[in-house]
Amino acid sequence: MRAPEFAPLDQNAVIVRVISYEQKNLRGVLASPKLEKPTPFCSLTQLLLTMEELMDQSNQPQRGEERRSFSAARAVGVRPQDLEDAPQELATFQLRILFRQNASWQGSLIWVDKRMDAQFRSVLELIWLMDSALTSQEECGTQI
């Protein structure tokens, strides 16, 4: 049994534990000092919108632009998901958002399990980084 890794968190960092990546659909749990308890997510969209709501609530990091939408803004609802019986997590990431500029995020992603890190300049680059980590798990024989 492997001892859990300790990764210190600041207020702008979150831990993303991925439980499932079946057909590139991300499921897992989001943990942050800003949350009372870990919050499950069942899609990439739900993860990103939950994180955006957290940053808006604390205004850290500050938003560079006003949010645009087709209708009035509404609160992002996080649907509770029973993940306690889920298999062991596939990957753990520490995500740190440094800036919210140009209607996107800039920051760093640490793949805790492999002790690798990378910088990203947009949410799309963040998605590519997470996909490359989770896809490499699949190539190594891990069932996803």
Per-domain boundaries in the chain: 13-65+76-139
20-50: pLDDT as tens digits: 999 999 999 999 988 889 999 999 999 999 9
Confidence class of residue 1 from pLDDT cuts 50, 70 and 90? very low
- Could you tell me which residues are beta bridge partners of residue 94? 15, 110
Ordered alpha helix ranges (H), 9-122 = 44-58
- When pLDDT is averaged across residues 103-116 and rounded to a whole number, the result is 94
In the predicted structure, residue 133 carries a pLDDT above the cut 90: yes
**Which residue bears the tokens 């990203």?**
120
Q: Give the residue among 39, 53, 140 at the shortest CA–CA distance from 91.
A: 140
Are 54 and 62 in contact, with CB atoms under 8 Å apart?
A: no
Express each pLDDT in 62-95 by its tens digit.
787 777 667 654 444 444 544 455 567 899 999 9
Q: Give the strands of the sheet with 27-31, arranged side by side.
A: 39-41, 27-31, 13-20, 91-99, 106-111, 116-120
Indicate the pTM of the whole model. Answer: 0.74
